[in-house]
Amino acid sequence: MKVLVADKVSVKGVEYLRQQPGLTVVEAYGSTPEQIISLVADVQAIVVRSETKITAEVMAAAPLLKVVGRAGVGVDNVDVEAATERGIIVMNTPSGNTIATAELTFTHILCGARPVPQAAASMKAGKWDRKSLSGIELFRKTLGVVGLGRIGSEVAKRAQAFGMRVVAYDPYLAPSRAKAMQVEGVTLDQLLAESDYITVHMPLTDTTHHLIDEAALAKCKKGVRLFNCARGGIIKESALVEALKSGHVGAAGLDVYEEEPLSADHELRNFSNVSLTPHLGASTAEAQESVGLEIAEQIADVLKGGVIRNAVNMPSLDAAQLKILGPYLDLGLKLGSLVQQMGPPQIDALNITYWGRIVDLDANSVTRAIQRGFLQKISGDSVNYVNAPVLLQRLGIKSHVLKSTDEVDYTELISVEAVAADGSICAAKGTLMGKTGKPRIVEINNREVEVEAHGKLLAIENHDEPGMIGYVGTLLGKDGVNIANMSLSRKEPGQTALMVINLDSEPSAAVRSELKSHRAIKLAKFVQL
């Protein structure tokens, strides 16, 4: 079996692959997209970092391809959807660069307080300039950490060692978890207003894109120092440039950018109080050796028919188990994502109940699929079937699993409940239908529905009164949004009704706002599955 190593990884990782019986390793560093396509016809595995893009076109040219391994966290350069459709496993190494990125972040924070890069450049230029290069201390200052996951938590620990007060904004972090870390959980507005230093550690999603923009910066203290070693695009660069020009932002440190590589004439290069590094977050000898060897071991295991680890698009199962559990995994993933998108942002517990045939199967992987679905829009690329339980624990969310022998109306049934601290619950139930086992949502918040668990959904709770279906249909029609299917549910006439609509496209922000403002509509949620 042939393994194509398309990007340079650690020598130990490549040597490990070479030592495996039956594996042939081809190193093709710096290849063009056309060259990659010409090389993959007889390849069973591909190893990449961030340079080489594994597109649907590459996969189409690789009929024997079983696994793509990314030596790092993000899988932005791999078309995961296309891989899933073709049954290709996509793996990453989510924890290998945690310390490296946390340390780089804190290096930027230190350089934002003491102008060490500027002083070093001054000395090399033959100067002795002490007056203009004075700095400030970190001691007793407030660090705002936006996103308290693996890396954010490590940065918080280092800040505490420097005697800093740490406040954190993470909309999914349980208060008990923040307290255990001796971190003050606050709202984003509070963090912006109180912090002397701000560092971001969230995945780039629709929600976090340009999270720190002009409006956010206006809420910050004058002279605030801002840092991003997470993902380009969380901080709006044009807004940062203007804030640096005005002096509202006193210093900044960036390792990631909205477009990489950063253009040679980018305005950020012109500020002496901005430290810039070329996406070096994972660029330590230890991190590169760790992720290179880790991805090599994972790929070797897959090709030898062993355990699947750190897969972003399937669980740790062998092929025989996957064939049986595959439909349940898909259903679980959709149910977890549905309750997260419809429910409150902060929850204390995720309750999962199984009925029917699935009770007799090993449902652990299905539980992890539900957890991963719940975390997809929270943790981004870093979540997979292996680390989902750990990520939930870090958020302070408890998982409770029950296998019930009670009789139900379906051959198999899965229930997922997201329980908030105030006792409120967002719940959904699903089953498999037809010979192919297509996932269906059969209940939302105790109301029976019949909804295909796929694509774009619009869920509306409204006072049950005449004309509501026509109103919603007309509004969507004017917006150019076609209705594929609609399920209606109510318990008593004149009470609260639920309509769940499968859509062909996403409604505009204006239409969503109009729906939410209608006097009879209590809830209007757009959900992407």
Residue 86 appears among annotated catalytic residues: no
Distance, CA of 526 to CA of 457 (rounded, Å): 6
Phi first, then psi: what are they for 414, rounded to 5°? -125, 130
**Phi and psi, residue 405, nearest 5°:** -100, 5
Active site residue 279: yes
Beta bridge partners of 443: 429, 448
User: What does the block give as tokens for 245?
Assistant: 């020009």
Strand 447-452 relative to strand 438-444: parallel, antiparallel, unpaired? antiparallel
The single residue of 225, 231, 394, 447 carrying the catalytic annotation is 231
**Residue for token digits 């420097």?**
162
- What pairs with residue 74 in β-bridges? none
Instruction: Name residue 444's beta-bridge partners.
Output: 428, 447
- 388/457 Cα distance (integer angstroms): 25
Give residue for tokens 């609609």.
486
The active-site residue out of 114, 210, 266, 279 is: 279
Among candidate residues 214, 260, 286, 465, the one labeled active-site is 260
| 130 catalytically annotated | no
Name which of 453, 495, 488, 455 is nearest 470 in CA terms. 488
Taking phi over 0 as left and psi of -120 to 50 as alpha, with beta for the rest, 100 belongs to alpha
Locate tokens 């340009």: which residue?
210
CB 232 within 8 A of CB 256: yes
The catalytic site residues sit at 231, 260, 279
